[in-house]
Amino acid sequence: MTDNPYNSMLHQFERAAKLLGYNESDYKTLKYPERELKVSVPVKMDDGRIEVFTGYRIQHSTTRGPCKGGIRYHPDVSGNEVKALAAWMTWKCSLVNLPYGGAKGGIRCDPTKLSERELKKLTRRYTAAILPLIGPEKDIPAPDINTNAEVMGWVMDTYSMFQGYTVPGVVTGKPLQIGGAAGRLEATGRGVQFVVERFLKKIGRDLKDVTVAIQGFGNVGSVTANLLYNCGAKIVAVSDISGGKFCSSGLDISDILKYTEESKDNIKNYRNPDAVDISNAELLELDVDLLIPAAQESQITKENVNRIKAKYIVEAANGPITFEADKILEERNVPVIPDILANSGGVIVSYFEWVQNIQFLLWDEEYTNDMLEKIITRSFEEIWRLSEEKGVSFRVAAYMIAVSRVVEAKKIRGIFP
């Protein structure tokens, strides 16, 4: 990865801190993660050979509560990436006012080349390696890229075996049968939907008259596409790691979902006479009303930002726009709804799941979705008001809110000893 996502995070964070009038001594500790654990994860493969994978669990801040953050399996996982993602989780939780700090984990691997048995061994050994850091009162992992409810079930079971009793609250995003929350699977995409609807209403646009391109068709991208499509949006382009499809009159998202779910195949092989093949890079540069990057970080950079034609951008992925590119979009007056709000639905409903687990409660999906919309809407309104009051971008406003809450909490607690 040519762009260091941690540097982008630091630029965004420090800009907000300075606009808030803080001295560096007020926020200096937040420039560094509290803990960084790098682990070797040996796995006996199906053919008998031993492979050693590299894993990470990084905790950025526990100032406002236990850490929260996902675990991803990807060939590009690195220390800097995980550090940035952990910090973004701190700001995300603070922005939506959850009593959490930020963490993130990952294993450098290609899960598509591993059998289910190998994935299970990898997960269990990784869980054992990060065991000193995690727990329902310390650090609560969740799914991320290439991990899912099943993987979280393996993490929970491994942790529980070491404790000697079942501990459902150690992870969120679990299967419903072992303490998962109704609505958690769709939560991030549903949060994106709520943000898109709220933003368009503010600027006087009707969702049905807006063209949309979505980069990324994993859990977040596919759920977002489906929810917006069902609300009448014209989705003209979608893509996954293999490439994408474009249709100026609009794609049939329900048909694409049916194809990918039933065939377990990539979007590239989906056939529709009206749809043409495009690359992920081409999708980003389409002339659409709304662009939703829902893949990985650092997709819009200083190299391609001047070719971005979208009128509005909603960040469903974490850090899809680098700091340099973000400045250029800001100068061009392209509204960007930042990731720490747009994709916060996942951690909000993860919080609901954790609350249910530690208090032995059970909420229905309707109540969960209502509470999610309430928190997302409140946070959106706070950002909108501050953006107008201070004359700053939505991202800067979001960071000002998030950073101020963490810094003020740090001031109250002080520096130990």
* Active site positions, annotated: 104
How many other C-beta atoms are found inside a 10 Å radius of the C-beta of residue 340?
28
Distance (Å, whole) CA 256 – CA 258: 5
Helices (H) and strands (E) counted in the chain, each on its own, are 14, 12
DSSP annotation of 291 reads: E
* Backbone phi, psi, residue 72, to 5°: -115, 150
Q: Which of 242, 215, 212 is nearest to 228 (CA)?
A: 212
DSSP 3-state of 398: helix
Question: How many whole angstroms separate alpha carbon 344 and alpha carbon 195?
Answer: 10
CB 142 within 8 A of CB 173: yes
Spatial separation of the C-alpha atoms in residues 104 and 141, rounded to whole Å: 7
**b/e for 89-128, b at 16 or more Cβ within 10 A?**
bbbbbbbbbbebbbbbbbbbbebeebeeebbbbbbbbbbe
Alpha helices in 171-299, H assignment, sequence order:
187-202, 219-230, 253-263, 280-284
Distances (CA, A) of 254 to 160, 170, 209: 39, 35, 19
Put residue 250 in one of left, alpha, beta given phi > 0 → left and psi -120 to 50 → alpha: left
**Looking at the DSSP assignment, which residues form a beta bridge with residue 73?**
107
Q: List, as one string, the DSSP characters of 21-70.
A: T--HHHHGGGGS-SEEEEEEEEEE-TTS-EEEEEEEEEE---TTSSEEEE
Nearest partner of 142 among 157, 152, 150, judged by Cα:
152
